Chains A and B, each alone.
Chain A
Amino acid sequence: MGSMHYRRLPNVRRDGPDSRFATALRGLAVDRRDRIYAVGDAEVKIFDRDGRLQRRWPTSRPGCSVAVDEYDRVYVGETGQLEIFDATGRLADVWRHASRLGRVTAIDFAGGDVLVGDANDRAIRRYDEHGSFMNDIGKNNRMQGFLIPNGVIEFAVDRAGVIQAANPGKHRIERYTLDDRLLGHIGRFDGVDPAGFPGCCNPTNLAVDVRGRIYVTEKADPRVKVYNDDGTLVAVVASEGFDPNCKNMDIAVDSRGRVYVTDPVRLDILAFETEGAAS
């Protein structure tokens, strides 16, 4: 294991009723300016880098995932549709695609294209910036998609434009090109060694930072870990602090290396940073 150690910071604030989620907290993202975007209930909430609520607006359906592009447009994945808002919260566009946008549990961008995870069909969809469908990713195999007994599909695009997708049923993180070529995978099952993924199906969620490190969350028991691009474990960010019943804890990393993780049971956003980092 690497020498990095993480410490827990105070949770992203939920002082005042507006900053709190009432029934659900599902998606988390961080933008270029390290603002934190969280979706749940039927609302987007934006917190500044110190965790103060800055802005909130309603979505037409409960959000499952969120992402922010380089123009600060906010993409909210919902059941059956994708809503796109401008930075002020004005609805700019809605994408619906009956056969291809089921429950959208992950969104990311690659060179102008929008990648969307559809948990219903267990595949990643590639759309161009105008919302025209281009191709499926991860569906062309024996299992006809990713194995997700946990019910969400999760991926992130690294700086090199490679899709890092969680395949929890196989205990792997698979790498795909935009045109659906499987480059390889990292990870293996292990219930004892923290370098492996335990349980029936892990990792459930992941995020990638600017250096190409992969941050993953696991369920039962809840755990947050960091891997190098080659699959070596860098650090265990946290293995406590979450409700033990958590599953599908979404994760995001900001430019300072701070790690934000949702606790979907207690409806909290936990924050961690490396020891010695200036806070």
Chain B
Amino acid sequence: MTSRAPRSVRLLAAAVLAGVLSGAHVAAQAIQYERPVQVAPQQETIGGGYVTPDVQRPRPREYWLQVADVGLLAVAMALAVWFVIERRSRAWTLTLTAASLAYFGFYRQGCICPIGSIQNVAVALTDSTYSIPMVVTAVFFMPLVVALFVGRAFCGSVCPLGAMQELVVLKPIQVPRRLDNALGLLKYVYLALAIGLAIRPEIARDFVICRFDPFVGFFRREGFAHMMAIGAGFLVLGTVVGRPYCRYLCPYGGLLSWCSRLATRGVTITPAKELDCGLCAKACPYGAIDRMRAVRKECLYCARCYASCPCEATPGVAV
């Protein structure tokens, strides 16, 4: 007991000292040097024909170009739907995939990105001082609306992250249904985590989706080692497991998957023409054909099933 009083006194003294010091620190930060006189010499003083140069102020990408990007996104989705649902063409779909990867991926450097904008939208909805440009709003909502009617057309051949993985699928194995379903839940965990971290107070806010974006480093051809490593990992894994990021981790894929459950149209294995051969199910690298029926929430619009179908390949053979 005898030692307690001095200790508390010491603690108090330390607290007071800390307060004084931090106060002094704050005071020092609040210094505003007065500029009562023009201390910087101006061109009149300097003379000799000197003209003060303008400070270089490079402008950002023109606004109309950003709007044009939104337009291109819409066009790309429309084409994806048309190529898959109407034309049932794997070749055209593949062409569109490559084009999307080239433009949205390598040219625009992954920066018309609905995946990352989940976080911006979440913040804009919860923080009254934060707002997002209309372009971002459009990029975020358009693929969702499309998914409501025709499924995940965006994933198929528009999203550059998906396109990157689409092109490396070599020898896909069929992930056991249960494992596939279980892993599929990860993306909702990631979605919840990303939203939870994004809507924290401004100073603590963290955009984890962007921080661990697997492919943006490739698109920019520069980036942090950890991003490059994650991206390379997904690409290697992607040769045997079809689109691992899209199926198991992509939080936007989670949202699209929900919306696509309500879709009225989509990839269908037409019962009337069916051979029950199961070739389509084998061809699907994403496990989206369950018991000879396409599962909309899993279907990634790649049109491989049509390419594998004997009925499609030679019309009129069926029945």
- Which A residues are within 8 Å of any B CB, using their own CB? 79, 102-103, 119-120, 143-144, 148-151, 243, 245, 247, 265
B28 touches A151 (CB 8 A): no
Query: In the complex, what distance in Å separates the CA atom of A232 from the CA atom of B311?
Result: 102
A-B contact pairs, 20 of them (CB 8 A): A79-B36, A102-B37, A103-B36, A119-B36, A119-B37, A120-B37, A120-B38, A148-B39, A149-B39, A149-B40, A150-B39, A151-B34, A151-B35, A151-B36, A151-B37, A243-B28, A245-B28, A245-B31, A265-B28, A265-B31
B64 within 8 A of A: no
Query: Which residues on A sit within 8 Å (CB–CB) of B35?
Result: 151
A149 to chain B: closest residue by CB: B39
Distance in angstroms from B272 CB to nearest chain A CB is 83
How extensive is the interface on chain B, given as a class? 10 to 19
B63 within 8 A of A: no
Distance in angstroms from A219 CB to nearest chain B CB is 11
B40 to chain A: closest residue by CB: A149
Interface centre among A102, A103, A245, A247 (most CB of B within 10 A): A245
A120 to chain B: closest residue by CB: B37
B28 to chain A: closest residue by CB: A245
- Which B residues are within 8 Å of any A CB, using their own CB? 28, 31, 33-40, 45, 47
Query: Which residues on B sit within 8 Å (CB–CB) of A243?
Result: 28
Distance in angstroms from A215 CB to nearest chain B CB is 24
Query: In the complex, what distance in Å separates the CA atom of A148 from the CA atom of B45?
Result: 13
4 nearest interchain CB pairs? A119-B37, A151-B39, A120-B37, A149-B39
Chain A contact residues, majority secondary structure: loop
B47 to chain A: closest residue by CB: A144
B45 touches A144 (CB 8 A): yes
Distance in angstroms from B47 CB to nearest chain A CB is 8
Distance in angstroms from A227 CB to nearest chain B CB is 25
Query: Which residues on B sit within 8 Å (CB–CB) of A79?
Result: 36
A201 to chain B: closest residue by CB: B39
Distance in angstroms from A137 CB to nearest chain B CB is 18
A24 to chain B: closest residue by CB: B34
Query: In the complex, what distance in Å separates the CA atom of A119 from the CA atom of B39?
Result: 9
Query: Which residues on A sit within 8 Å (CB–CB) of B37?
Result: 102-103, 119-120, 151
Query: In the complex, what distance in Å separates the CA atom of A265 from the CA atom of B25?
Result: 12
A244 to chain B: closest residue by CB: B28
Query: Which residues on A sit within 8 Å (CB–CB) of B36?
Result: 79, 103, 119, 151
Query: In the complex, what distance in Å separates the CA atom of A265 from the CA atom of B38?
Result: 21
B38 to chain A: closest residue by CB: A120
Query: In the complex, what distance in Å separates the CA atom of A151 from the CA atom of B35?
Result: 7
Query: In the complex, what distance in Å separates the CA atom of A148 from the CA atom of B35?
Result: 12
A144 to chain B: closest residue by CB: B45
A169 to chain B: closest residue by CB: B41
Query: In the complex, what distance in Å separates the CA atom of A199 from the CA atom of B33?
Result: 17
A103-B37, A245-B28, A247-B33 given. 16 additional CB < 8 A pairs?
A79-B36, A102-B37, A103-B36, A119-B36, A119-B37, A120-B37, A120-B38, A143-B45, A149-B39, A149-B40, A150-B39, A151-B35, A151-B39, A245-B31, A265-B28, A265-B31
B48 to chain A: closest residue by CB: A142
Query: Which residues on A sit within 8 Å (CB–CB) of B45?
Result: 143-144
Query: In the complex, what distance in Å separates the CA atom of A173 from the CA atom of B74?
Result: 71
Query: Which residues on A sit within 8 Å (CB–CB) of B28?
Result: 243, 245, 265
Query: In the complex, what distance in Å separates the CA atom of A265 from the CA atom of B37?
Result: 19
Query: In the complex, what distance in Å separates the CA atom of A119 from the CA atom of B47?
Result: 19
Query: Which residues on B sit within 8 Å (CB–CB) of A143?
Result: 45
Query: In the complex, what distance in Å separates the CA atom of A79 from the CA atom of B34?
Result: 13
